Amino acid sequence: MTSRALVLVLVSAVALSLPAAAQLRVSPQIGSGTPRAPAGPRPADHIVAVVNSEPITNNEVRTRLLRFEQQLAQQGAAMPPRNELAKLVLERLISEKAQLQFARESGLRISDAMVDQAEQNFARQNGMDVAQLHRRLAAEGLDPAAFREDLRNQLLLTRLREREVDQRVKVSEQDIDQFLREQAGGAGPVELNLGHILVALPENAGEPQVREAQAKAQRAHERARSGEDFGKLARELSDAPDAAAGGQMGLRSAERYPTLFVEAVQSLPQGGVSAVLRSGAGFHVLKVLERRKGGLPGAAVTQNHARHILLRPGSQLSEAQARDKLADFKRRIQSGQADFAQLAREHSQDASAQRGGDLGWSSPGMFVPEFEETIDGLAPGQIAEPLVSRFGVHLVQLLERREARLTEREQREMVRNVVREKKLDEAYEQWAQEVRGRAWVDLREPPT
C-alpha cells in the first residue's frame, strides 16, 4: 500500500458525518469488532514526541493505530507494515496537536451544545441512542468523557479549517469549464457508491465459526440477488459500522475503496451484487448502488423542501436558552397548540421569516453540513431536534422531498461544489504542513 493510500485510510476513518472537505481524523468506530488492546500486561507508557511542550504518548499512538488497523480489516484492505502505519499515525497526531494548539490560542471554542449534537449524530449513525452509546463505549473499555473530548477536538479542527482554509479557495468559471472538458474526455476516475454487508469473524475463529459466518453471508447474498431491499438486509445482518445507514459506503473514487472490493464489482452493472468475499475481517457482500465518471454530477438529484426557525444567541439569549425555546416550539407545534409558519414569522431571525421560514427547494451542497445532514435524516413532515450551526440554533422541518432534473446552470453549480471540495482538500494539506512547520517538535523514543 502506498503512502498516499495510507493517508486516505487515515482520512476516511471518521465517525462524524462531515463533508469530504471537512472530515477529521480521530473518532473511534463503535460496533462489532471495535479494537481492544491486545491481552496481557500493558507495556509501560512513554513519551514518543513533544509538540510545543505538549506530549504525545506511546499509548495514544497505540490506541489510534488499533482503530486504523481495525478499519483496514473491516474494509478488506491489505494490511501495511505496522511500523509504516505507526509512523503515519504519529505524524497525524503531531499535525492535529499543532492545529488544536493554534485553534485554542486564537480563541476558538466549541460549546457543550455542539458536542451534544455531534454525539447524538454519532449514536444515530450507529443505530442507538446516547445512553446506549455510553454503555457500548464502557463495554469496549472506552471512556465516554474521553470520547466527547475527541468529538470536541474534531469540531474545533473543523471550525479552524473553515476559518483558515476556506477563504483561500476560489473557483472560477474557467475552472468549471476545464473540469467539464476533462469529464467529457473521459479523464475523470470512476466513482462508486457500494452497499456493504459484513459478517464479522473474531480473531483466531475456529472452523465451525468460519462455516457459520460463511453460511450467513451466503444467505445474505442470495436474498440480495433475489431482489430484497439491500439497505434492509444490511441493517438486519451486517456487522459493519455503516449498517445503520443501510450499508451505504458513500460515493467516492474507486481508489478510495479496497482493491478487493473494486475487483469484485468492476464487471458488475449498477444494481449488481457481488459474490461472497473473504477478508481478514470476515465475509463481505457488495452491491453497486451507483457508478459514474469521477465527480461529474448527474442530471438528477434528490432535492429537499424545508423550513426553519433561526435564533441567534447573544447577550440576551444564551445558546442553551435558544435550544430550550426551540424545543418548546417543537412541543407546541406537535401538540397542535402552535403553527410552525406563524412561529417563524414572529420569532425567526432569518430572512426566511416573512415566508414562514420556508427555504424553498434545495439541492445537495446548498446548506452547511450540519444543517443538510439533519434535513437528509428527516421524513416528510418530521421536525428535528434543535440543532446548532455556525449561524445559530435552528428548528427544522422537512416538508417534501423529490427527484429533480437539474438545469444547465444548476449542474454548473454542482460542478462548482465538486471543484471547490477538491481545491479545499489541496489547500488544507498545504495549510496543515504550514502549521506543522511552525510547531516545535521533539521526537523521542519511537512508538512500539
How deeply is 439 buried, as exposed, middle or buried, from its count of CB atoms within 10 A (0-12, 13-18, 19+)?
Answer: middle
* 160 and 14 within one domain: yes
217-227 confidence digits (pLDDT tens): 999 999 999 99
For residue 138, being part of any structural domain is answered with yes
Reduced DSSP (H G I as helix, E B as strand, rest coil) percent helix, strand, coil of the chain, to 5: 50, 15, 35
* 160 and 46 within one domain: yes
Which CATH number do you get for residue 332?
Answer: 3.10.50.40
For residue 413, being part of any structural domain is answered with no
- Cα separation, 45 vs 178, in Å, equals 52
Distances 72 to 79, 153, 248 between C-alpha atoms, Å: 7, 23, 17
DSSP secondary structure letters along 80-94 = PPHHHHHHHHHHHHH
* 350 and 287 within one domain: no
* 153 and 60 within one domain: yes
- Cα separation, 276 vs 68, in Å, equals 24
Average model confidence (pLDDT) across the chain: 81
* 22 and 156 within one domain: yes
For residue 441, being part of any structural domain is answered with no
3-62 confidence digits (pLDDT tens): 333 333 333 333 322 333 333 323 334 443 334 444 444 456 889 999 998 999 998 888
Torsion angles phi and psi, residue 197, rounded to 5: -120, 125
How deeply is 278 buried, as exposed, middle or buried, from its count of CB atoms within 10 A (0-12, 13-18, 19+)?
Answer: middle
For residue 184, being part of any structural domain is answered with no
Closest CA to 22 of 171, 118, 159: 159
Q: What is the pLDDT of residue 221?
A: 94
* 160 and 43 within one domain: yes
For residue 432, being part of any structural domain is answered with no
* 193 and 328 within one domain: no
Q: Coil, strand, or helix at residue 57? A: strand
Assign 93 a pLDDT band (cuts: 50, 70, 90): very high
How deeply is 293 buried, as exposed, middle or buried, from its count of CB atoms within 10 A (0-12, 13-18, 19+)?
Answer: middle
Q: What is the pLDDT of residue 41?
A: 45
Number of structural domains found in the chain: 3
Closest CA to 370 of 350, 354, 384: 384
| 300 within 8 A of 404, measured Cβ to Cβ | yes
Q: What is the pLDDT of residue 39?
A: 43
* 122 and 9 within one domain: yes
User: In this prediction, what percent of the chain has a pLDDT beyond 70?
Assistant: 84
For residue 421, being part of any structural domain is answered with no
* 37 and 112 within one domain: yes
Assign 77 a pLDDT band (cuts: 50, 70, 90): low
The parent domain of residue 304 ranges over 300-405
Stretch (H or E) spanning 367: none
Q: Which of 134, 168, 202 is the last residue of a domain?
A: 168
Q: Coil, strand, or helix at residue 382? A: coil
* 80 and 34 within one domain: yes
* 258 and 304 within one domain: no
For residue 424, being part of any structural domain is answered with no
For residue 416, being part of any structural domain is answered with no
- What's the whole-number mean pLDDT along residues 210-219? 92
* 339 and 313 within one domain: yes
Other CB atoms within 10 A of residue 5 CB: 16
